Amino acid sequence: MNRSETLPTPAAIGVPHNRVDGKLKVTGAAQYAADFAADRLTYGAVVSSTIATGHIVSIDVSAALAIPGVLLVLTRKNRPQLPQAGKLYKDQVAPGGVPFRPLWDERVWYSGQPVALVVADSLELARYAASLVKVRYEATPHETDLDRALMSAVPPSTEKGGFEPPPPARGNADAMLASAAVRVDAFYTTPAEYHNPMEMHGCTVVPDEHGRLTVYEKTQGVVNTKAYLTSVFGLKDDEVQVIAPFVGGAFGSGLRPHYHLALAVMAALELKRPVRLSLTRQQMFTFAHRPQSIQRVALCAAKDGTLQAVIHEAVSETSRYEDYCDVVVNWAGQLYKCDNVTMGYKVVHLDVPTPADTRAPGAAQGFFPLEVAMDELAEALKMDPLELRLINYAERDANRNLPFSSKALRECYREGAARFGWANRPLEPRARREGRELIGWGMASGSWDAMQNEATARAILGRDGHVTVSSSTADIGTGTYTAMCQIAADALGVSIEQVSFELGDTRLPKAPIEGGSWTVSSVGSAVDAACKRLHTHLVELAREHGGDRFAKAAREDVKRAGKQMVCGTAEGEAVSIDTLLDCAGLDQLEEQASVKPHEKQQAYSMGTHSAVFVETRVDEALGAVRVTRVVSAVAAGRIINPKTAASQIAGGVVWGISMALHEHGLFDQALGRLMNHNLAEYHFPVNADIHAIDVLFVDEPDDIVNPLGAKGVGEIGVVGVAAAVGNAIWHATGKRVRDLPITLDKLFI
């Protein structure tokens, strides 16, 4: 036996650790979907449709095939016959309807739809050959204008799945609104916004001589992607492996498989060679976007500010073939206390690709009108906007008539306001200026559901004392690798350096897609459980094989100290892990655990909350807006890593500023085509647009939400920010803008 180590192991959870994968990323060692090499690798290029709707009359591929090095041009005429061609695949995030099937037939559903795939020996050759493919179309009338098609709005189909109607109305909001002393009733709009992660969607598909596929894919869920491939292509479970160790941002765009994956697999099976297919930046705008919306919010209150009625109705876009729905209006019935609430949601089918979950789907666009309307109500009441929110603070979730498992929103208001200096805010707009800049302060509330899904994790202890923990989850830049190492280290009683985490591989224990801010809650709870089982097993080995003192010791007195197990504080009472494994006849120690939501959660409403305070400066002559200061106060349960969590919130704030001032898809309605499908004309903030962002987390114990007491922070950072910016602009200028983004032309109208 060796002398025991006496230094205590520092806690890992709650400590601001650097990313454990950071060095791999900054040195270029991290491999993404289009980085993996393969022998005899080929390259694909997609040919996109140039009409919005209609039919393909003919495709001439002769010029492309005449070029040496061009191996294949796939079209609807020669694509492989799919074994499950008639079977509809219903993945974890597919909305109701018929999923888009590339090269299925001659129909064109939207501009930019893939109509052919060229595969060649090099990427440059494939893209050049794709430019030579000639497609003749028969165009039909299209509609891509939500305003023009508004009267065709219908409730989404509940029969097709993917949609749960808003909670039923309570009280009589219309009657209260009609007789109210103070009211606000207005329409607000949000535009289509597009995912633009650094890494564009792509994959590398590698078949072996037996037809088995190894697929390196940009995805937020390898398990989900594998289910898609086995279903559509009729492959067996052991014939597909999906790998995604690193994902260069996704924001919801990687929740479901997109057309590039199916095309690449078709080509790989046809050629029996590896195929790499990466979409261009322009093609990144041909799927998966936040849907545009038109929303009505009506509020009324007594003269003391007590809300008497809330009405929130929304119409958003979806495609012709699927009923995509965001949860836009439900927050209106939950955020504030009110007895008379009506919520409604409809969709308009347009000739566009199906929208998709986009960071804080529904909440990001739904909180904008709700929180601006609250500001307008405060203006009408001549009341401080924060005071109005406190007067109507909800202690229960009225949508479900349930208490909150925890809700520290009051503390967010108080601590955020104090940090920002809100008490010094003048009530009237246009009250402060410096030079030719008008200065305004605005605020808004935020909320997002705290969710948990079933997940499984495995922990393996080696002879050197190092523990490898694994689960098939993803890290889309959120810090999953690091958070899981911290959770494991705490559960094992070791330093974070003695733990590593593996993810993004379907050979690993099953995990849900990384989305909805539920990864720490779901996978983290499984990691915690697996590591605690492993530690318990190790303690029992020590008590069995460590000698008389260990055998007589209480379990809680047997602890881990580096590569040893120790018993109490006596010198010499230690046994190495290597020795214990030898005594037990084991090469390694392994435990696995699955964790799912527990029944007591059903008695509570679980969510994260925030209060966002913003300072804007508006050039009175030019209308240029600068967001110079933001304080975001967040209640998200137990914070695993304050450093990466604050980074997530700050990133959400940047996106919220982008929503408020920059982002919008611009359509040529005559062509039915998005015109600014590039990073030069699709505007979002650059470094010069972003100034001080101060993130603070309030203390919020919660023993209901999951075993760790942790809530996700991926979504909550963006919620409410656009409204706070809009409210600050009103306070600076006296000009109320209800249509995003707030560009300088709208300030001058």
Could you tell me which residues are beta bridge partners of residue 424? none
Q: Distance between terminal CA atoms of the chain?
A: 82
Q: CA-CA distance, 724 to 633, in Å (whole number)?
A: 13
The Cα-based distances of 211 to 80, 255, 269, 274 in angstroms read 14, 26, 7, 11
Peptide bond preceding 741 in cis form (omega within 30 of 0):
yes
With tokens 């470094």, the residue in question is: 687
Q: Which of 217, 313, 376, 715 is catalytic?
A: 715
Q: Is 159 one of the annotated active-site residues of the chain?
A: no
Q: CA-CA distance, 603 to 623, in Å (whole number)?
A: 50
Q: Helices 363-381 and 642-661 meet at what angle, rounded to 10? A: 70
Q: CA-CA distance, 693 to 678, in Å (whole number)?
A: 27
Could you tell me which residues are beta bridge partners of residue 444? 612
Nearest to 638 by CA among 689, 583, 690, 706: 706
Length of the chain (residues): 749
Q: What is the dihedral of CA 366, 300, 730, 727, to 10 degrees?
A: -40
Q: What is the DSSP letter of 687?
A: G
Q: Would you give the distance in Å from CA 291 to the centre of its chain?
A: 15
The Cα-based distances of 732 to 435, 632, 723 in angstroms read 13, 20, 14
Nearest to 718 by CA among 267, 304, 366, 333: 366
- Give the contacts of 81 (CB within 8 A, at least 6 positions apart): none
Handedness of CA 658, 221, 96, 367 (dihedral sign): negative
DSSP-based helix, strand, coil % in the chain, nearest 5? 30, 25, 45
Residues marked as catalytic:
715
